Amino acid sequence: MERRKLEIERAALDIRNRFKIESYGVSDIFSIVDKMDIYLIRIPLGKDTICGFSTVFDGKKVIVSNSSEILSREIFTIAHEIGHCEFDLDVDEQKIIIDADINTNTENFIEKRADYFAVAFLLPEDQIRYYIKYELEKDPTDIRALDVIRMQIEFNSSFAAIVIRLYELDFIKTELKNRLFEERDSATSRKLFEAMNLNDDLIRPAGILKVPNKYYEYVFSNYENGYIVFDKFKEALELVGFNTDQLAVNRTRLDEDVDLDELLEGF
């Protein structure tokens, strides 16, 4: 597994280098997905439903994230789905990978690989080491909960992801790992953010619906040009949360004469 971990880390670092990510973490994962030519759809699917999924639609990779989850969890989900896009999805194969939960002790190799990719992408070992030494100016064994909160802001990650990463890199031992979680649980993350007068967006859900315009353009143009049948057209719209009942009623008219402007106005 160690050899596989090196390969996964190399893939994660290659993407960081390719898109010149020089910050400690990934400051804007949403724009990175766009640059990778992957369609990112953010939908408030409700808390504790699914974290997200990745799929291929007519030769294009698509990531859907649940914006009802707190932002740091949504960011991790997107990084996890990028891992699936890199390792598990082929544009020539229709496939969907649904992640009902992440950060669990799964024995599924595909899910473990996507999780490890997300960790390596968001929390690179060298960047963590540098931050602790030169920003916190501490030995890892002296880290406290407020230090982890500072790292959350810099690495755009959750408290748990950072502590577990520190533990797995052997920067901290079990006793300190447990103490950090106890400090967090006794004070709550929100109070720790308030104590440091920090923006707490990371621990709040964004709750937004955001679909890239080029996704709509791609779907509608493919249907208009006859590249996809009506059922695929409907499926692509349902993917982004549209109620397609009216489309089904008007299917005959759509097949005969598609007025995209009129149709979009209806949405």
- The domain segmentation of the chain, as residue ranges, is 2-122, 125-203, 213-266
Taking the C-alpha atoms of residue 87 and residue 101, their distance in angstroms, rounded to an integer, is 19
CB-count burial class (<10 Å; 0-12, 13-18, 19+) for 180 = buried
Amino acid at position 48, single letter: D
CB-count burial class (<10 Å; 0-12, 13-18, 19+) for 100 = exposed
Per-residue pLDDT of the chain (267 residues; tens, 9 = 90+): 677 889 999 999 999 999 999 999 999 999 999 999 999 999 888 888 889 999 887 788 999 999 999 999 999 999 999 999 999 998 877 777 877 776 555 678 899 999 999 999 999 999 999 999 999 999 999 999 999 999 999 999 999 999 999 999 999 999 999 999 999 998 888 898 898 888 899 999 999 988 888 887 888 787 777 777 777 777 777 777 776 776 655 554 444 444 444 434 443
Read off the pTM.
Answer: 0.85
Pick from 225, 210, 209: which is nearest to 58 by CA?
A: 225
**CA 161, 109, 10, 123: dihedral to nearest 10 degrees?**
0
Q: Does domain 2-122 have CATH number 1.10.3470?
A: no
> In whole angstroms, how far apart are CA 18 and each of 11, 13, 14, 21, 90?
10, 8, 6, 8, 20
